[in-house]
Structure 1
Amino acid sequence: MKPPSRVSRLYEVMDLMLDSVGDPLALKSLAASASYSSFHFDRIFRELTGFSAVEYQRKRRLRRAAHLLRHEPDVAIVRIAQDCGFPSNAAFAKAFKQQFSMSAKAWREGGWREYMDQQVGRESDVSFFVAEPDNLEALLAPYCPPQPGTIAARIAVRMLPAVTLRYQRFFGQSGAALSIACNDVVCERERRDAAAGAPGGRPWYGVFDEDPGFTGESEYCYDFGHADDAGADPGMGMRVLPAGSYACLDFHQEWPRFRSMYEDWLDKQSLWRLDSTRPHIQMVERSLDGRWRGWLALPIKKR
């Protein structure tokens, strides 16, 4: 078996950083886990993501805090700052205002919605990636809130099993660019399956570890791939999508968005809240008529 590639080793380090977002960042330890010196690790990390490892982790901490401020209204701001790895409330307040142009208190009181609408906009929602990139109508359509109750009526809470995923990671891409990149991955694998006489119709997973509404295009980190199998490319990343409770929205011949699930269901019910420790997941597969169908899954936990 081929050894893991340089990129897949960096993927593993990035996943470790996400899992330990509240812990001190030990750059030497991260570099060693990827078999690099600190200097080469930071240089390669910047080439891959556009950010140094320290800046990348700082932004992830702030986005985790933004999640918690929105979805955990009963947790004190100082506790959120501590849980997200900031040494003091003053350091957190300064960093948060630099990132989001408002205080954490203003964000919690509704500023997050203004930020999402004005600073990020419709391309913040990667859930409407189109597996057929010539479907520009779906890609370019502005977000329209659903008729009240129409999305909520279709959502089912399910216990999803863990899935071991082989994936390619995309940075700083959204909209048409992301759609085309994902479609290239699908087409290449379908060609390989056809050449090997393997059955088609495999499910594909898109994974986003953070709230899409709070992440600007330059900071996107989106994983796209398929369940692990014997023919997988060891140069791809490998991760486990965790089992647990998810709010699921099935679709066929349409491209719903996570935002509609938040606004028409999550924000309007009292039993469930977002679990920011698990990713947003989209599954898509070709139906017998060749069209795409699948589901969106929001990670949730009991209030």
Structure 2
Amino acid sequence: MRHSLSPDLDGTAVAAAARQPVKATSRVSRLCEVMDLMLDSVGDPLALESLAASASYSSFHFDRIFRELTGFSAVDYQRKRRLRRAAHLLRHEPDVAVVRIAQDCGFPSNAAFAKAFKQQFAMSAKAWRDGGWRAYMDQQVGRESDVSFFVAEPDKLDVILAPYIAPEPGSIARRIAVRSLPAVTLRYQRFFGQSGAALSIACNGFIGDRESIDGAPCGTPFYGVFDEDPGFTGEREYCYDFGVTGVEVADPNLGMRVLPAGDYATLDFHAEWPRFRSMYEDWLDKQTVWRLDSTRPHIQAVQRDAAGQWQGWLALPVKRR
């Protein structure tokens, strides 16, 4: 289900639209598992028949239902994910040859990859690696690409809708610490095709449900999870999980996933909403020790303090160069 929201929508309209998430019914849960399989196997050939069988559908019904959920055929969706993974690696793995990236992302030849990449991003892989990714992120995706603002209340949409302003050089970098985070098991809701204000209000609604229905107390941690580079994924293709841990959840339709342990560059915050983009530009892009690890997700943890204000951290998965 997709929602395209204009910046001039008021809070009531946004909230009404955002309260229509993709519900994790049995059918949708199976499709979500297939989507996760596609991400985990981005470099492997996955036949439509095999994907359909993993979801217990015939090929015809699987492709039809997949289109209803995502707006894309399963084959096209996997192709787009492969290309976004390649774009991600081209930016963050400058010492890896383009032909190796093409192979690792499941393309049978460099020529096939070059053609598909140019169709998707309107430039060559070399041009992308040389800095074209920045123009694409700014012009094609824009500020809606940043998912850091997902729990703002309807009366605070101006924070979400404000244009991105680069931080004072060094102001974010000095606050970042690389930590080894443990694995966390979530009960989660998947939101597909939503971003910006709609996603923020939908996730705020999820928090409200856990507090009112499941009795989640103040201080309960909630987690937002994004498995791809937020800067390269348009609204139609957003696949975003938002979940809770440490709470007995009554809703049987919520999915379950484990956030992987490992090293993460973390940015603590309190009563503010820093963006992932600022972490990239003020810290990661200038790193000589760490680089992004594309095999693990971006994570944000949030919780209310005793005064009801939001606090938490952003986390970028990293590995040593």
Instruction: Tell me the alpha carbon deviations over residues 209-233 of structure 1, each in whole angstroms, 9 at most, x when there is no partner.
Output: 1111111111111111112654353
Q: What per-residue deviation string (whole Å, max 9, x for no partner) do you get for residues 21-64 of structure 1? A: 00001221221121111111111111111111111100000000
Mapped contact 1:71–1:274 kept (Cα < 8 A): yes
Letter in 2 for 1:96: F
**CA offsets per residue over residues 165-216 of structure 1, 9 Å max, x none?**
111111111111111111111111111134xxx6443111111111111111
Q: Tell whether 2:304 aligns with 1:283.
A: no
Q: 1:67 aligns with which of 88, 91, 101?
A: 88
Partner of 2:15: none
> Residues 126-137 of structure 1: matches in 2 within 5 Å?
126-137=147-158
Call closer, same or farther: CA 1:282–1:236 in 2, change over 3 Å: same
The answer on whether the counterparts of 2:189 and 2:242 sit within 8 Å (CA) in structure 1 is yes
In structure 2, what residue type is equivalent to 1:44?
Answer: I
Deviations 1:133-170 (A, max 9, x none): 32122111110110010000000100001111111111
Structure 1 residue 109: deviation in Å?
Answer: 0.4
Letter of the structure 2 residue corresponding to residue 262 of structure 1: Y
Tell me, yes or no, if the aligned pair for 2:187 and 2:249 is still in contact at 8 Å.
no
| 1:206 counterpart residue number | 224
Partner of 2:162: 141
Does the 8 Å contact 1:10/1:34 carry over to 2? Answer: yes
> Which residue does the alignment assign to 1:119?
140
Secondary structure of residue in 2 paired with 1:127? coil
104-113 vs 23-32, which deviates more?
23-32
Aligned to 2:206: 185
Note if contact 1:130-1:139 (Cα within 8 Å) is conserved in structure 2: no
The whole-number CA distance in structure 2 between the counterparts of 1:193 and 1:62 is 40
Query: For the structure 1 residues 287 and 228, does the alpha-carbon distance in structure 2 shift closer, same or farther, using more than 3 Å as the test?
Result: closer
Once residues 157 and 26 of structure 2 are traced to their aligned partners in structure 1, the CA distance between those partners, rounded to angstroms, is: 34
Q: Report the alpha carbon displacement of residue 283 of structure 1 after superposing the two structures with TM.
A: 0.5
Contact 2:292/2:318 (8 A) holds in 1? yes
Partners of 1:293 and 1:247 in 2: CA distance: 17
Tell me if 1:163 matches 2:184. Answer: yes
Question: Equivalent residue for 2:11?
Answer: none
Q: In the alignment, is residue 6 of structure 1 matched against residue 27 of structure 2?
A: yes
- Structure 1: gaps (5+ residues): none
Instruction: Write the letter of the residue equivalent to 2:71.
Output: G
How do 1:83-94 residues align onto structure 2 when only pairs under 5 Å count? 83-94=104-115
SS for the counterpart of 1:97 is: helix
**Aligned residue identity for 1:221:** C
AA of the residue aligned to 1:249: L
Which letter does structure 2 place at the counterpart of 1:120?
Answer: V
2:269 is the counterpart of 1:251: yes
Q: Distance in 1 between matches of 2:217 and 2:195?
A: 30
Match of 1:222 in 2: 240
Letter in 1 for 2:278: S
- What's the TM-score once normalised by structure 1's chain length? 0.95
Look up the match of 2:45. 24
Alignment of 1:36-75 (within 5 A): 36-75=57-96
TM-score, normalised relative to structure 2: 0.90
Number of residue pairs aligned between Structure 1 and Structure 2 = 298
**Counterpart secondary structure, 2:163:** coil
The aligned counterpart of 2:10 is: none
AA in 1 matched with 2:312: G
Shift in Å, 1:7? 1.2
Is the 8 Å Cα contact of residues 150 and 204 (structure 2) preserved in structure 1? Answer: no
Contact 1:165 1:240 in 2 (8 A): yes
2:315 is equivalent to residue 301 of structure 1: no
Determine the C-alpha separation between the residues in 1 that align with 2:249 and 2:285.
42
Identical aligned pairs, as a percentage? 82
Amino acid at match of 2:229: D
Contact 2:214 2:247 in 1 (8 A): no
- Specify the alignment match of 1:240 in structure 2: 258
SS at match of 1:121: helix
CA distance in 2, matches of 1:150, 1:162: 29
